[in-house]
């Protein structure tokens, strides 16, 4: 049984992960719960960890993982690291990692085949990668509406967002995105990269999730959004 504050914090973290793709800071959690200090947040998180609702990855910044929500009856683990906690389907496992109800987990047995293009760091527009000979089966409940495709992640620029080399990124094709979302960006009609989006006036910043990489800033007209990350597949 959770206290009101524990329940409120857990739902806030889960909502923040869904909206932004990364876990909130302690200051954001403190403000959201109207607490006077971050020590109260630390106590709430520790209590949620002890009760099996939350997992904290101490070796990564802002890395909270929601394991389950009250009254759901099933684990709702998410791919973490991070800042970014997209839903992850571990190939070879039946369980879907992500905050889904029991009904949607049952529906995961229904899959749809989507194209699997080249590596995200290949330096080519998505259109140049298109080869429907490689495809991947994805649970229907994971995708939702719209057109989707998959890309294999190359490199370590997003490791602090829980996105690792060799992961398969599931992308919902779209030309717009909100600040903080992780997108597929086409730069100068030549280079494709998976980064976090930040708009700064007439400029666009593409942020890595690795302290060893610098944020790249471009005039907005040089960057075209080709999709938004909605999930990852990871082979163990």
Residues with a catalytic annotation lie at 157, 195
How many Å apart are CA 198 and CA 23, to the nearest integer? 16
How many Å apart are CA 105 and CA 67, to the nearest integer? 15
CA dihedral of 200, 202, 208, 213, whole degrees rounded to 10? -100
Retrieve residue 124's tokens. Answer: 């080519």
How many Å apart are CA 224 and CA 186, to the nearest integer? 5
Residue 233 DSSP one-character state: E
Alpha carbon 87 to its chain centroid, in Å, reads 7
Q: In Å, what is the CA distance from 193 to each residue of 44, 120, 219?
A: 37, 6, 16
């Amino acid at each position: 049984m959770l206290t009101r504050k524990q329940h409120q914090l857990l739902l806030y973290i889960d909502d923040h992960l869904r909206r932004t793709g990364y876990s909130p800071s302690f200051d954001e959690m403190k403000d959201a719960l109207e607490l006077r200090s971050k020590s109260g947040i630390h106590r709430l998180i520790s209590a949620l960890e002890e009760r099996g609702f939350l997992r904290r990855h101490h070796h990564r910044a802002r890395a909270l993982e929601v394991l389950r929500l009250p009254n759901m009856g099933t684990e709702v683990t998410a791919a973490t690291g991070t800042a970014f906690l997209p839903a992850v389907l571990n190939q070879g496992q039946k369980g879907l990692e992500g905050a889904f109800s029991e009904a949607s987990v049952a529906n995961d047995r229904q899959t749809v085949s989507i194209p699997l293009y080249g590596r995200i760091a290949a330096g080519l527009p998505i259109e140049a990668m298109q080869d429907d000979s490689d495809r991947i089966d994805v649970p229907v409940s994971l995708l939702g509406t719209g057109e989707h495709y998959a890309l294999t992640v190359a490199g370590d620029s997003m490791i602090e967002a829980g996105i690792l080399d060799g992961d398969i990124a599931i992308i919902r094709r779209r030309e717009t995105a909100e600040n903080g979302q992780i997108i597929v960006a086409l730069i100068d009609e030549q280079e494709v990269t998976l980064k976090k989006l930040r708009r700064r006036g007439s400029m666009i910043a593409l942020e890595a999730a690795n302290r060893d990489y610098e944020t790249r800033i471009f005039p907005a007209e040089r960057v075209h959004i080709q999709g938004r990350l909605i999930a990852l597949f990871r082979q163990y």
